[in-house]
Amino acid sequence: MRLRAAVLHLMRPGEYECRDGLGLAALVRAGEVSAGELVEAAISLIEERDPALNAVVHRMFERARENAAELERVVAGGASEDAVAAPDAPFLGVPFLVKDAGAAVAGEPLTGSCKLFADYVPRRDSELVRRLKSAGLVIVGKTNTPELAAAAVTESRLRGAARNPWDLSRTPGGSSGGSAAAVAAGMVPLAHGGDGGGSLRIPGACCGLFALKPSRGRNPVDSEAGEAWGGLVQEHVLTRSVRDSAVALDVTCAAGGEAGEAPPPRRPFLDEVGAGPGRLRIALFRGSLFGDDVHPDCAAAADDAAGLCAGLGHEVEEWFPAFDMRAARRAFLALVATGVAASAQRGAVLLGRDLTREDLEPGTWTLVTAGRFLGAEGLATAQATVAAVRAAIAKAIAARGVDLLLTSTLAFPPLLVGAPGMGPEQRAAARDIEAGPPAKRLPELLEVLTERATEFVGNTALFNVTGQPAMSVPLYWSAEGLPLGVQFAARHGDEASLLRLAGQLEQARPWFARRPRPG
C-alpha cells in the first residue's frame, strides 16, 4: 500500500486520470514516469473503485507488472529484438483492460460470463490483442459482459451485474459494459470491447464515453472462429478522447482486416482528428430505427447535437433512407441467434459433451434453441436480407448526397440494474421456441422475445446490419445527470469523416473533464 501511495504522489494527485492514453505514454517516453508506475496507479484505482462497479472480473496484476518491467527495459534500450513493443509505441506502458468475450489473451480465462466456458483458457492471443499489445498497452485485467455478449445490459449469473459509475442503480449498458464502467470510473484511459448490435456504442452512451464501431472488415477477425454473428460484430475500444480511439484503430487495422471489405485509409486516422471536416450534409432522424418510441431525453440529445452541428456550419436536414425495418430486424435477430448457438456449441465441443439447458441462462438457451431451429436455411435467408438492406441504404445515401446520419444512440436512458428482461409475452414466446415451432413462426417469435431489448437500443443495430461505421459521442447529459450519447453513422469505409467531426465536436463542447464522482 505504501508503494502505491508513493506512485500516486509521484504522478501528482489526479494526473493519471487527467491524461488520455497518448498523454500517459508521452510521459513514459520522456522518462517522467515509468510503465510500472502507471500500472500501479491503475491497480490502486481498480482496487479502490471496482468493488462498487463489478467492472473488472479477472485481475492480471502480477502479469501486468512483469510486462511493465519489460517495457521499462525497452525504454532503457536493453530489451531483446523480439520485445512485444518498440520504444516509440504510441501507448507505451498504458494500462488497458480487455472484455471477457471475443478477444483471447493467451493463458488467461475467456469465459464470456458463461459457466460453460468458466475453465476455458486460450493458448494464444487473438490477432487484435497481439496488435494492441504491440502498441505498448499493458493488460491489467478482463472486464464484465453479459452471457456470451448477447444482451444490451451487463448482468450474468456467473459474474453478476456491472454498475454505472454515473449512477450505481443503473446499468453501464452492454455488452461491453464492464469496459465502459472502468474507463468512465478512471481505472484505465481506454479498454477493449466488441459491437454486434451496439455493444460499444450503447455502453459508451450510458457512461459518457467516445465509442466508435469500425466498418465491417476494418479490423482483423479471429482466424479460428471467423466473423462473429455473421459479420455483425466489430471489435475496437472505448475511450475518453477521440485521438486515443483513432490511434488504436491505426494500430489494429495496420495490416488490414482479414474480411478484406473496408478500403484502406488514405492516411493515418490520427491525422483526421483536428482536420477540418468541411461543410457536412447531416441527416437527422428523431425516431427509433428498430423500435417504436424514443424517450424525450434521448430525442432532446439528438436535437441538441443537430443544433450544435448547424452552429458549426454543417447542413442538417431531417431525413433517413427508407428500408424494410421488420425484415432488417428479423435478419439481425436471426444472425444473433445462430451466432450465439455456434458459440455455445464450440464450448460443448471443447468440453467433449453435449450442450444442455443447465449450461446456459434461460434467455441464452432460448436464443441457442432458436438458432438451431433456424439452421442453414434461416441463416442464408438472413444473410440475403442483410445484403439487400445494406445495398438499399447505401444507394439512397449516395443519391441524396448525405455525408452522415444522426440519431440518438439510445432510445431510452440507462436502465435500472435488474430491470425485468421478460414480460408475459416474452416468456410465452420463449416457451414456444423451446417447444419447436413451425419454421414460418420462428422469426416472429424471436421478435417478440427480444422486443424490450430493441426498444432500449433501437438505433444501433441497423449499422451492424449494414456494416457502416458509427460512433457515439458524449455531448448530452439529462437533468438527472445521466449521459446520453448521440450517434453518427457514415458510408461504409468512411471512418475518416466521423473522426474529423468527432474532433470538431470535442473542441466545441469538451467532455474529457466531465467525470462521475468516484463511488
State the alpha helices, DSSP H only, in 198-241. 201-207
pLDDT 10s digits, 317-359: 999 999 999 999 999 999 999 999 999 998 889 888 889 999 9
pLDDT 10s digits, 61-105: 999 999 999 999 998 886 666 778 899 999 999 999 999 999 999
**What 3-state class would DSSP assign to 444?**
helix
| Sign of the torsion formed by the C-alpha atoms of 149, 151, 152 and 155 | negative
Q: What is the DSSP letter of 164?
A: B
Cβ burial, residue 83 (10 Å; 0-12/13-18/19+): middle
Phi and psi at residue 47, to the nearest 5°: -65, -35
What is the arithmetic mean of pLDDT over 125-136?
96
Check 113, 134, 156, 199 and give the catalytic one.
199
- Which range has the worst mean pLDDT, 100-104, 221-225, 231-235, 292-296? 221-225
User: How confident is the model at residue 226, as a pLDDT?
Assistant: 61
Three cell numbers, residue 354: 453435449
Strand partners, 316: 282
Q: CA 304, 309, 310, 316: dihedral to nearest 10 degrees?
A: -90
Class of domain 2-319+460-508: alpha beta
Alpha-carbon distance of 196 to 234, in angstroms, equals 6
Query: Which of 453 and 268 is assigned the larger pLDDT?
Result: 268
Alpha-carbon distance of 155 to 420, in angstroms, equals 12
Burial 103-123 (b: 16+ CB within 10 A, else e): bbbeebbbbbbbbbbeebebe
Three cell numbers, residue 183: 474507463
CA 115 and chain centroid, separation: 22
Q: In this structure, are strands 281-284 and 404-408 parallel, antiparallel, or unpaired?
A: parallel
The model carries a pTM of: 0.95
Nearest partner of 241 among 89, 407, 19, 91, judged by Cα: 19
CA distance readout (Å), 333 to 176, 197, 407, 446: 19, 10, 21, 7
User: How confident is the model at residue 83, as a pLDDT?
Assistant: 75
User: How many CA atoms are closer than 13 Å to the CA of 133, on its beta-carbon side?
Assistant: 21
Domains of the chain, residue spans: 2-319+460-508
Alpha-carbon distance of 403 to 284, in angstroms, equals 11
DSSP letters of 477-515? B-TTS-B--EEEEESTT-HHHHHHHHHHHHHHS--TT--
Alpha-carbon distance of 473 to 514, in angstroms, equals 13
In which band, very low, low, confident or very high, does the pLDDT at 258 lie, cut at 50, 70 and 90? low
pLDDT 10s digits, 146-189: 999 999 999 999 999 999 999 999 999 999 999 999 999 999 99
CA 46 and chain centroid, separation: 20
CB atoms inside a 10 Å sphere around CB 86: 13
Alpha-carbon distance of 182 to 518, in angstroms, equals 11
Three cell numbers, residue 333: 435477430
In which band, very low, low, confident or very high, does the pLDDT at 424 lie, cut at 50, 70 and 90? confident
Q: CA 322, 327, 332, 335: dihedral to nearest 10 degrees?
A: -140
Three cell numbers, residue 116: 460453460
pLDDT 10s digits, 271-323: 999 999 999 999 999 999 999 899 999 999 999 999 999 999 999 999 999 99
Asked if residue 484 lies in contact with residue 219, where contact means CB atoms within 8 angstroms, the answer is: no
What is the arithmetic mean of pLDDT over 373-396?
95
- Whose cell is 483471447? That residue is 104
**What 3-state class would DSSP assign to 469?**
coil
In the residue annotation, 199 being an active-site residue is answered as yes
Alpha-carbon distance of 239 to 140, in angstroms, equals 16
Element (DSSP H or E) covering residue 68: helix 61-76
User: How confident is the model at residue 6, as a pLDDT?
Assistant: 41
**Model confidence at 134: pLDDT above 60:** yes
- Whose cell is 435478419? That residue is 331
Check 126, 134, 175, 179 and give the catalytic one.
175
Alpha-carbon distance of 413 to 450, in angstroms, equals 18
**What 3-state class would DSSP assign to 42?**
helix
Check 34, 99, 142, 215 and give the catalytic one.
99
Provide, rounded to the nearest whole percent, the portion of the chain with pLDDT above 90. Answer: 79
3-state secondary structure 376-425: HHHHHHHHHHHHHHHHHHHHHHHHHCCCEEEEECCCCCCCECCCCCCCHH
Strand partners, 164: 167
